[in-house]
Amino acid sequence: MPRHPVNPDIDLLDGRFYAADPHTAFRWMRENAPVYFDEKNQVWGITRHAHVQEVAKSPQLFCNGQGMRPDSPPLPSMINMDGARHKRRRNLVNSGFTPRRVADQEAKVRQVCVDLIERVASRGSCEFVMEVAAHLPMIMIGDMLGVAPEDREALLRWSDDLILGTSATATPEAAEGAAKAFAEYAAYNREVVRDRRARPPQQDLMSVLVHAEIEGEGLDDEALL
């Protein structure tokens, strides 16, 4: 293990570290220990762009397949894949994020922002996170995933419960809530996938991914989930 200065204020697995102002700590790391070892959590922090690029492009040395966090097992997600397996999955997903598809969303994002602000503007004040900020990604992501407007609140609840229940400090009750949320979303997702498979390609992302193929190979139900 390399010898370098240790900063007791750095905890790379603590959400409170990032919720405060981590940039002062990041600057200290870049200047004093650009490849920083967080001894408490047994993880490395890579703080310079060139080093991040080197890590990202060297899967034979730095793998994703063991998971994205040392305190959680790997999930069958693209972020936990390496090499050709990752590239194939990424190329399939990229079919839903072409420059044209992304640009086509701009007018909708603007209109959703206007609608959310107008909904609270007449009151003169609001709880911004829960009444405005949380709804914008929920609406946009929900639409991409084929979530019906009347089910958006459920999507937000599933998302919140999963985040609470999979953190390093999750209580047993929160972990149980996360498992319940995942099961409910998985059931919902299966119905959406079944619907999209039965119909010609639509404009939402889930439909694009259901029908995407590379060399005759597409995404199975587990990968879509």
Residue 114, in any domain of the structure: yes
Q: Report which of residues 170 and 191 the model is more confident about.
A: 191
Range of the domain at 163: 103-204
Residues 179-224 have pLDDT tens digits of 999 999 999 999 999 999 999 888 788 888 899 887 788 888 888 8
The whole-angstrom separation of Cα 203 and Cα 96 is 9
Residue 73, in any domain of the structure: no
Q: 40 and 109: one domain? A: no
Task: State residue 168's pLDDT score.
Answer: 64
Residue 146, in any domain of the structure: yes
Looking at every residue in the chain, the average pLDDT score rounds to: 87
Residue 93, in any domain of the structure: no
Q: 111 and 50: one domain? A: no
Residue 76, in any domain of the structure: no
Identify residue 113 by its one-letter amino acid code: C
Give 196-199's long-range contacts (Cβ < 8 A, gap of 24+).
196/146
Residues 76-132 have pLDDT tens digits of 788 888 888 888 888 878 877 888 888 988 999 999 999 999 999 999 999 999 899
Task: State residue 196's pLDDT score.
Answer: 92
Q: 189 and 108: one domain? A: yes
Tell me how far the alpha carbon of residue 157 is from its chain's centroid: 16
Residue 2, pLDDT > 60, answer no
pTM equals 0.66
- How many domains does one find in the chain? 2
Q: 51 and 140: one domain? A: no
